[in-house]
Amino acid sequence: MTGALLVALDIDGTLLTHTGVLTDGVQPAVEALRDAGHHVVLSTGRSVHATVPVAQELGIDRGWAVCSNGSVTVRLDPDVADGYEVTDVVTFDPGPALRLMHAEFPDAYFAVEEVGVGFRMNKPFPEGELGGRHEIVGIDDLAGAHVTRLVVRSPGHTSEEFHDLVARTGLADVTYAIGWTAWMDVAPEGVTKASALERLRGELGVASARTVAIGDGSNDVDMLRWAARGVAMGHAPEHVRAVADEVTGPIEEAGAVPVLRSLLA
């Protein structure tokens, strides 16, 4: 089958090591795919301002990126301010989820995203975890306006306890993505990396059968299911590997690289 591919790539744990270093061979593999006319789309839980530097490091100056787990889609363009243009934003009322989780986890860190700016938060997050400008505000202020994403970080609790809270409360109108540790991203209902990628696929005119995705986290599950070829990194949790069409090597072995090269075969 001919035609351009849409190749959706998670960033952390897929392209970048756990210390934030781009794995060997990724940049030239991405460049070769782009030179061949394929769409390479970064698809990440990162905010826009934390995604654009990675795109630049990869040499992706024009194209598209899905950020904030699908809540924000941007068009990368070196000719516009900051190197990108926001093309789609989905927001929700964080109040109900925020107040419930604050009651359950009163010592947790909470933050809401301000697209292209940074985050408002109830107390400072550890350095390097959230990019952009930070503003410390009260819980009521965090709950006071619609946002693209609510971040919850509770070092005293496990990811299993977050899952239990979600199951117990059954909050509607939101989508949860629970990370490796005690970290949760709360997004608008039905919004995932997959929902944003499907919208973008239609706009680009790429056939469903020409979609590929590589990822390693719980927030990649829907994306891996969405893709015609969903590839899980070798170090991904079992439930992520279980939904993938195939499993490649772990991040320590630059597992994304042979998959990217195979697309040019």
What are the domain boundaries of the chain?
6-89+191-262, 95-188
**Whole-model pTM above 0.85?**
yes
CATH superfamily of 6-89+191-262: HAD superfamily/HAD-like (3.40.50.1000)
In DSSP terms, 12 is beta-bridged to 16
pLDDT at site 170: 66
pLDDT at site 166: 73
**Residue from 159, 187, 253, 190 nearest 44 by CA:** 187
pLDDT at site 181: 65
DSSP codes, 150-181 = EEEE-TTS-HHHHHHHHHHH---SEEEEE-SS
pLDDT at site 173: 54
**Residue from 187, 221, 222, 211 nearest 67 by CA:** 187
pLDDT at site 1: 40
pLDDT at site 19: 87
Please, what is the Cα angle at 80 between 76 and 84, to 5 degrees?
30
pLDDT at site 221: 95
Give the domain 95-188 fold. 3.30.1240
Q: Which residues of the chain have pLDDT under 50?
A: 1
pLDDT at site 179: 66
- Strand 174-178 relative to strand 183-188, pairing: antiparallel
